[in-house]
Amino acid sequence: MFGEFLNIIFKSIKLDRSLYKDNKNFGEAAIYFAGLIMILDGVAGAVAANTVVKTAIGVSGLTAIITWFVWAILIYVIGVKLFPDKDTKIPFKKVLTAVGFAHAPGLIRFFAVTPELMIPIIFLTQFWIFAGLIISTKQILNLKSNMKSFGIVFLSFLIIVFLSISFVMSRMDAMPISQVS
């Protein structure tokens, strides 16, 4: 079982599209593997950030799980409900699993052990994850076009950025610095 988990991680890191086409990778344990990858991705991000600023590892793991669900919901709604191809018939669980698998390159953030390595590794892994999301979206939704897959992932990304900025901006009034006159 651990070998199967490592195989999924390595295929994801290699951006191997066969990972998403082979139904054996979406068996009973797949959702747990995807969740574990997401939690480890969050912890790896916290470890990388701790080289510069103290970050709560538990909060990072929880944030990764929330992010996982948000990505999957947006990709599912945009790719399956709003703009499906004629062969796009897929359960949400498979989208959720694929999004989790696509985040495996984030585990490389564990190697950002110095402040000098943090920013390059975070940027590299973020683009790598984005590429993994595009590949996984194309494969699991049976899309004909790479551009359509890119569009679904990019639109999901823009919505996440908008929601994140809105959340942060709504919290700005509650910060002590906003009361300084």
Express each pLDDT in 129-177 by its tens digit: 999 999 999 999 999 999 999 999 999 999 999 988 887 777 766 655 5
d(CA 102, CA 56): 24
Handedness of CA 77, 78, 79, 80 (dihedral sign): positive
User: Of 90, 89, 84, 93, nearest to 145 (Cα)?
Assistant: 84
d(CA 141, CA 76): 9
Q: Residue 90 has what DSSP assignment?
A: -
Tokens representing residue 68 in the block: 């996982």
3-state secondary structure of 27: coil
pLDDT digits (tens, 9 = 90+) for 66-87: 999 999 999 999 999 999 888 8
Whether 11 has a pLDDT exceeding 70, the answer reads yes
Tokens representing residue 74 in the block: 């947006």
Instruction: Scan for tokens 């551009």, then name that residue.
Output: 147
What is the reported pLDDT for 17? 93
Amino acid at 29: A
State pTM to two decimals.
0.86
3-state secondary structure of 54: coil
pLDDT digits (tens, 9 = 90+) for 17-58: 999 988 888 988 999 999 999 999 988 888 877 766 677 777
Amino acid at 108: I
Whether 102 has a pLDDT exceeding 80, the answer reads yes
